Amino acid sequence: MQEPWQQIRQRIEAACRRCGRDPQQVRLLAVSKTQPLERMAALWAAGQIHFGENRVQEAREKQSLLAASPHFSLPERAALQWHLIGPLQRNKAKLALELFQMISSVDSLALAETLSALLPVGRTLPILLQVNLGQEAQKHGLAAETLLPALRQIAMLPGLQVQGLMAIPPWTASAEEARPYFRQLAQLARQMAAEKISGVSMAELSMGMSQDYEVAIEEGATWVRVGSALFGPR
Ligand SMILES: *Cc1c(COP(=O)(O)O)cnc(C)c1O
Contact present, 141 and 169 (Cβ < 8 Å)? no
Domains and CATH numbers, the chain: 2-227 (3.20.20.10)
Query: In a mutational test of the pocket of ligand 1, which residue from 85, 171, 217 has the highest number of ligand atoms less than 8 Å from its CB?
Result: 85
Which atom of ligand 1 sits closest to the CA of residue 105?
13
Find the mean pLDDT for residues 220-228: 98
Find the mean pLDDT for residues 206-216: 98
Query: In a mutational test of the pocket of ligand 1, which residue from 54, 165, 171, 205 has the highest number of ligand atoms less than 8 Å from its CB?
Result: 54
Reported confidence tier of residue 135, pLDDT bands at 50, 70, 90: confident
Reported confidence tier of residue 78, pLDDT bands at 50, 70, 90: confident
**pLDDT mean across residues, the chain:** 95
Residue-wise pLDDT tens digits, 99-128: 999 999 999 999 999 999 999 999 999 999
pTM of the predicted structure, to 2 decimals? 0.96
Give the residue whose CA is nearest to atom 7 of ligand 1: 210
**Would the CB of 86 count as within 6 Å of ligand 1?**
yes
The pLDDT, as a whole number, for residue 70 is 80
Find the mean pLDDT for residues 22-31: 98
**Would the CB of 83 count as within 6 Å of ligand 1?**
no
Percent over 70 (pLDDT), the chain: 100
How many angstroms separate the alpha carbon of residue 42 from the centre of ligand 1?
A: 19
Which atom of ligand 1 sits closest to the CA of residue 225?
10
Residue-wise pLDDT tens digits, 144-168: 999 999 999 999 999 999 999 999 9
Reported confidence tier of residue 88, pLDDT bands at 50, 70, 90: very high
Give the residue whose CA is nearest to atom 4 of ligand 1: 227
